[in-house]
Chain A
Amino acid sequence: MNVDDVEAAVEEMGALLRLDGAELTVLEANPKTARIEVALDMTGVECEDCVMPPEMLEQMISDAVARRVRGEFELVLRDPRRGGVPS
């Protein structure tokens, strides 16, 4: 897993979310564990319903990563709408 590729994939989705005031950040992309952790920040969002639902967002990020990264990975999305907001 190339960390730059993960960053690029997440940025691909992040650019779309930024139009609604949300931010996506890569918290972890560890080739040794194949674990990718991404946080959604919605503090700048005025219309929560305008941001795609967590499950769909997670799937779209996962698809974007899969297009660039070879092999299996585990994606964890920290989304404030379903708890687990990173400290």
Chain B
Amino acid sequence: MTQVLTSEQVEVAADGAALYELSLEGRWGDGVPILAATDERILAMLAATPYAADHVIGALPPQYGVATVELAAVNAVMAGCEPAAFPFLLAAIEAILTPEWNAFGLTTTTSSVFPMLIVNGPSRDDLQIDYRAGCMGGAGGRGSMTIGRALALCLRNIGGQRAGETSRCVFGQPARLGMCFGEWEERSPWPSLARRRGFRAEQDVVTAHGGKGTFPMADINNDDPRDLLHLIAKSLAFPLSNMFLGGTGENGEVVLAINPIWADRFAAAFPAVESLQEYLWEHAWQPIDVWPAGNQEILRSKSRVDDDGRVSLVRRPDQIVPIVCGGLGSLHAIALPSFGESQMQSAAVDRGTG
């Protein structure tokens, strides 16, 4: 396919520092050095997809800029993506543009929330999408570091998201520079996240979760799976979670990243992931008297308090989403708390090969 590029062009000296300065001045960078989006590099991105440069993926909030494949490719190049990773960016955009993901709400809110990308499928190693030690930061795989960053640049440069302006975020979070990691499917005793969401094992799949941050949990004192899961469930249900703020608790998922050692331990007690989710759900609550009177009134008005005075974090077990990743050091789990009014979305990576 012959591609015709139509993006606005700027001239800059062939010097990385000059381009970096220009990106800061023009506010189309993210504060970190970028690569030059030359025609040659953009065309290499386009060659990795079945789409024409002017194919419209959708309108990206908050300002609803039209995201064409060419504009996505420009941002992918700037982020440092390799062409083989570009279809993962397109899948991520497709996922966050699903209405139930609530992209406008998530890109404009005061919350720190941002798309966190979880990748399943056979290309994780080839693209250096981290799923082992340091997968949520520090491992430094190219795929992990650039796919998430490319999505963040798309939201900035196509969607017009700017902290303190179109985005009213109070703090933001490190993941706003981009967050993308894989699931260690080979070490998971349960079906992968993508399989549970209806995809085939041979498909590469990107799942976008509107995550508020990384919430660390640790235990060195107890090896019993039920005891550990009880403590995890109680930790997930922290009183100032968004899930208790004002909604009904029917929307949104809390992702629970479990290290492979703990996953083996939990699977001995809960061979089916559904039974694990059920157990977590049964314990992810707080007594109503944890909250002061004013908060109690709101929770009661939302029918969040059951007959035993318990306030459950979420309405259904499937809203607690376990995944397996991380290093073999054991001892730790990470939760990715939900924004609440956003439902996780997945999209298969489309390379046009059927």
Contacts and interface: CB of A to CB of B under 8 A. Distances in A.
A33 B132 CA distance: 10
- Chain A interface main SS type: loop
Interface in A20-34: 30, 32-34
B186 A72 contact: no
B245 interface: no
A30 B260 CA distance: 14
A74 B133 CA distance: 12
A71 interface: yes
B310 interface: no
A74 B260 CA distance: 10
Interface of B: 132-133, 186-187, 260-261, 327-329
A73 B261 CA distance: 11
Contacts of A30: 186
B187 A72 contact: no
Nearest to A35: B187
Contacts of B327: 72
Interface of A: 30, 32-35, 71-74
A33 B187 contact: yes
Contacts of A74: 260-261, 328
A61 to B, nearest CB: 15
Given A33-B260, A71-B132, 18 more contacts: A30-B186, A32-B186, A33-B186, A33-B187, A34-B132, A34-B187, A34-B328, A35-B187, A71-B133, A72-B132, A72-B133, A72-B327, A72-B328, A72-B329, A73-B328, A74-B260, A74-B261, A74-B328
Contacts of B186: 30, 32-33
A30 B327 CA distance: 15
Nearest to B329: A72
A33 B133 CA distance: 12
A53 B260 CA distance: 27
